[in-house]
Amino acid sequence: MNGAHLGKDRTYYKIRDRYYWPKMYNDIAQHVKSCSNCSINKYSRRKPNGHLNQVNPPEGVWENLAMDFMGPITPSSSRGNKYILVITDILSKYVIAKATRDNSALTASKVLVEEVILKYGTPKQILTDNGTHFTAQLFNDITKLCGMCHIFTTPYNPQSNGVCERLNASICDSLSSICNKKRTDWDEQLSKIIFAYNTTRHVSTKLTPFEMMFGRLCKLPFDLPKQTTTSVEPHQYVKQLQEYLELAKHVARTNIERSQEKSKRNYDTNRTNNIYLIGDFVYIKRLGLIHKLAPKYAGPYQIIQQLNDSIYRVQNTNDLNEIINVHINRIRQCYQ
């Protein structure tokens, strides 16, 4: 009743009005910091821990793809579709999107084969989240059979698949603007949205995704016809196309790197980048809370491995069988 877990400053002033001892502020601050109830039940008011990690752009177009399901979308379309499977080339930003009735592993596998591999060839790497449709044996068998490396993002960390997160939001905004009043024809409008996206200059590459994929600007329905035409020998055209695509790749990589550096500077401002050691005890931020009074953090957990600058493997001290990988922005130091 006297304390109410009001934080170090309020607790200090309340005690100081009644008592005094040397270095009392430091003692109170340390006591409050080590309070397990406060650590578990209160959100930090600071920006989440951890700096933004830059990932080098792929060396070429159609080497690294990102896949993600959007949905379920409400209302369902008049054709019964509830989801959109979005596939993006990480370098060119070229997008494929397919409306689907479900988000099963079978559907994901069919779209990967029919819309990606059979039309554009096999990529080196596929990046997905940890949804059951992507972790299923069927999908993993397809990627292995086709010689693709399947990479998973860190659970509950949108940064790790930021390309898809931003794209999904853009698709939703555009669909909302052009579909009918009942919102039931969004799957019929999807191809128009994707065409517009692929033929518009991307903010990070400064080129259109279509241009990077096919080595030419897309001729749009309202473009004026050229007054003159030129002929070129096939071998000359191939050489010109190769040179154009190589230049486009270089320009895109350079522009993406500059864009990433700018994003990193903005993101890292006023953020700490704590380093945790093997054996440290920490709390892990809980997600999907049902009610406001639920504990905000779980634990304590113990750090058992650092996978990279941002990802740690932790073990629940109350259930040693629970070992998970977590991003640094969900970690809070446990002071004992």
179 DSSP 8-state letter: S
Domain that holds residue 88: 64-201
Q: 187 with 295, same domain?
A: no
Mean pLDDT (the chain, rounded): 81
Return the pLDDT at 163.
73
Question: What is the DSSP annotation of 188-229?
Answer: HHHHHHHHHHHTS--TTTSS-HHHHHHSSPPPPTTPPPPS--
Last residue of a domain, one of 201, 224, 248: 201
Q: Is the pLDDT of residue 1 over 50?
A: no
Q: Is 122 exposed, middle or buried (0-12, 13-18, 19+ CB in 10 A)?
A: middle
Q: 43 with 70, same domain?
A: no
- Answer whether residue 8 is part of any domain: no
113 DSSP 8-state letter: I
Q: Which tops the pLDDT comparison, 320 or 154?
A: 320
Q: 169 with 77, same domain?
A: yes
Q: 195 with 83, same domain?
A: yes
Banded model confidence at residue 233, pLDDT cuts 50, 70, 90: low
Number of structural domains the chain divides into: 2
Banded model confidence at residue 296, pLDDT cuts 50, 70, 90: confident
What is the tens place of the pLDDT at every residue in 107-131? 999 999 999 999 999 999 999 988 8
- Answer whether residue 228 is part of any domain: no
What is the tens place of the pLDDT at every residue in 178-201? 888 888 999 999 999 999 899 988
Q: 179 with 126, same domain?
A: yes
- Answer whether residue 207 is part of any domain: no
What is the residue whose two structure tokens read 């486009």? Answer: 248
Asked if residues 214 and 244 have their Cβ atoms less than 8 Å apart, the reply is no
Residues making up the chain, counted from first to last: 336
Percent with pLDDT over 90 in the chain: 32
- Answer whether residue 219 is part of any domain: no
Asked if residues 45 and 107 have their Cβ atoms less than 8 Å apart, the reply is no
What is the tens place of the pLDDT at every residue in 303-322? 999 888 788 899 999 899 99
Q: 39 with 68, same domain?
A: no
Report the C-alpha gap between 101 and 117 in whole angstroms. Answer: 21
